Structure 1
Amino acid sequence: MYYTINESIARTAQELNSFREYKAGSATAEYRAEVDEAAALVERKKATVSPYYHEKLDYLLDRYAKKLAEYYNAYYRNEASCPSIMISGGSNFPVNKKRKQNARRDTLQQEYQAVQSILRKIESIGTGPIDFADPHARELLQRRVDDAKANHQRMKDANSWYRKHGTLEGCPGLTDKEKEWLTRPGVFSVGRGTPLELYRKPFPAFDLQNSNAAIKRYQDRLDAYNAQQNRTTAPTDFEGGQIVRNVELDRLQIIFDEKPDEETRAKLKANGFRWSPRNQAWQRQLTNAPASSIVRKKGSCKIRS
């Protein structure tokens, strides 16, 4: 998981910029501490997302470790390229070299931010739409539907409780954060200004409408997944190749007997297909939207997902 930090260059960099003695291995230790934090983030993510994403998380962690090592080594090389005026003194000081070093520092800072953006990618894994290629997709989609329905019922029960009792005391299902917001004074101009006084219920109509919309959205996604799984996956032959509906990978694939000509490749790209060296196929995501015809010199075929 770790990559090599050039300790010799790191030592030179410090000696040219500081009166402090360099502690052997300190550059490597600093680098590894950041990688360890990223590894801990990955482990936390693995505990909350489908195993389908674990390989991608491991890939991002390795990429982060590699790019961070590249940044540190580049940073130390730059710091070792010109001494501080405090160390060398002002006589014959290489002003132009220092100017280039400072400009490189600005660029390196941007590179460091790009490396740190990998951490944000790690944090976002598994938070978007569920990938149909995930072997646990049906289970995850059903869970989202069930959770959305449970949340909707929770809001309805809270409104019923308040309508019956006229108080939030003992109201089941409300979080402390929700209670604090509902009873916070000065938010609106009605009465004491609490949201509860304005809405006259814990959850107003627009909250319930949004909740219903979420249920429908998740149910539609689940229905789309089930419909896709029920489609036939038998390959369709055409002159010069075949079309494969790869449900497992959630990809529509076109496999040619020979490399397609430039015109055909342009049409493939224009219709969202990309070459996959791993699968030896031109492919795009498997959707309900029809694709345009891909015309070959010796014939044509209409491709529909």
Structure 2
Amino acid sequence: METTLLTRENAHRVTMVRRKDTPESEPVAFHFRGKRYGYCSYAHLVGEPAKEEILAPSNFKDWLVAEVAHPGYLDEYFKQACDSYNLTSFSPAERAETDIASHEKELHEDLQSMPEEQRERYTENYKRYFLAMIAANGRCASAMITGPARFNTARNEKACNSYAKSVTAFKEWRERALEAIRKAVEAAKPEEQRDMEEWKKVKHFIDDAASTIHGIDTGTERGYSRSLFVSNLAGRISTYANHGNVEIIDRAIAHLREWNSKVKKPIVTERHSIFKYPELARKVREKQQERANRENREIPFDGGKVVYNFEEDRLQILFNKIPDAEMRTTLKRNAFKWSPRNQAWQRQLTRNAEYAAGQVLKLSI
């Protein structure tokens, strides 16, 4: 059986250890930084925390890893992480441990939320951004560490700004990647599953709002505005009506009527416009079906084309090559978003969208 020694590089993710001289013994708990003395001053504990049995890093070599919280995604970058703090910290190793530990935990949690086939690419990109960040950090310095003599303030300010940009780039990439993966996972679900999950969310919202409204009526909930809760409930459900989601609307109205039948004072009276939502949803769906049956329309321009995609209810701009940064910024300012699935810049098909596309492309649409 393969054995792994406890080291400073892997200690942050180890949860159980056993002595090297008794490898068949029962493992005991390992508490990374289980005792804190002050800033960047810690002690690792082994066994029961209350006993405070300290295990110094110099004695790690006498212990074997029995269990870990997650794989060592970033262990190989431990030295680079330490080096990146050489000019900014009196405790570079401790700062590096913190960085490695927090980012490995974050990466592990991210990977658990995505399909297996997405994990390798995500991990590679995560490592790339992490390395760029610690490399930028290594170019920063502190006069407290290097000494004030001939300290190049201008160069250091530039280096610190570069590091801040790398941190921001890392954060923004992660948010975009996770959102794209989430959307892909959602799109891959069977339609029945998506509908059921959506209905569960709507039902939970209705139950929560109705319960509070009933509490206001009976005096068990005080300090709330009944009209505000009813308005909020109607507004939330109206979104599905405006999107033509007949199935959700029908179930939502039926569920509201169930609530009304169980309480003395109706949650929402039958006079309320919310009970006209089924009719509204059907009218919206009819229009959607009529629009989907229309043939797409294209307007060419120098460098691409504008597409009226009636089936998806989107006005799309397709370029022959990637537009420059200025054009991309202009598109975003005019509410066009990039769709990887359609390989197009698009927004909902409205008169405002047509006007915006005309302004962006200098076309008469």
Report TM bin, short chain: 0.3 to 0.5
TM-score by length of 1: 0.48
Q: Which structure features the higher share of strand residues?
A: 2
Higher relative contact order (CA 8 A, sep 6+): 1
TM-score by length of 2: 0.42
